[in-house]
């Protein structure tokens, strides 16, 4: 029998500079992270409990893009 524990999380991002009309995209990296909504400046989801999780947020503005990885404990 396997028991998988999951926790809920919320993430927010904000951008400045560039051209207005930012487009945000969230991407799970490691381990198993699921987003309920992967578009917009705020997102939420669930992740594997008691491990470090990593997600990436990418912001596009006109022809420019920027991204960063966010590491957080899921507990």
pLDDT, position 1:
62
pLDDT tens, 14-34? 998 888 889 999 998 876 788
**Positive or negative: CA dihedral 68, 57, 27, 12:** positive
Residue 62 maps to a domain: yes
Say whether pLDDT at 4 is over 80: no
Instruction: Identify whether 3 is part of a domain.
Output: no
- pLDDT at res. 25: 95
Domain assignment of residue 45, yes or no: yes
Structural domain range at position 64: 21-74
- Residue 44 within any structural domain of the chain: yes
Residue 50 belongs to some domain of the structure = yes
Residue 30 belongs to a domain: yes
> Sheet of 6-12: strands edge to edge?
6-12, 42-48, 33-35
Residue 72 above 70 pLDDT?
yes
Residue 3: the pLDDT is 61
Name the band, by pLDDT with cuts 50, 70 and 90, for residue 2: low
The 10 Å CB-count burial string (b at 16+, else e) for 27-47 is: ebeeeebebeeeeeeebebbb
Domain count, the chain: 1
Domain assignment of residue 67, yes or no: yes
pTM above 0.85, yes or no: no
């Amino acid at each position: 029998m396997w028991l998988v524990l999951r926790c809920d999380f919320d993430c927010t991002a904000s951008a400045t500079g560039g051209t207005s009309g930012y487009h945000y995209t969230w991407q799970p990296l490691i381990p198993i992270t699921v987003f309920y909504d992967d578009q917009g400046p705020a997102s939420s989801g669930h992740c594997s409990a008691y491990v470090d999780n990593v997600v990436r947020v990418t912001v596009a503005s006109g022809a420019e893009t920027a991204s960063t990885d966010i590491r957080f404990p899921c507990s």
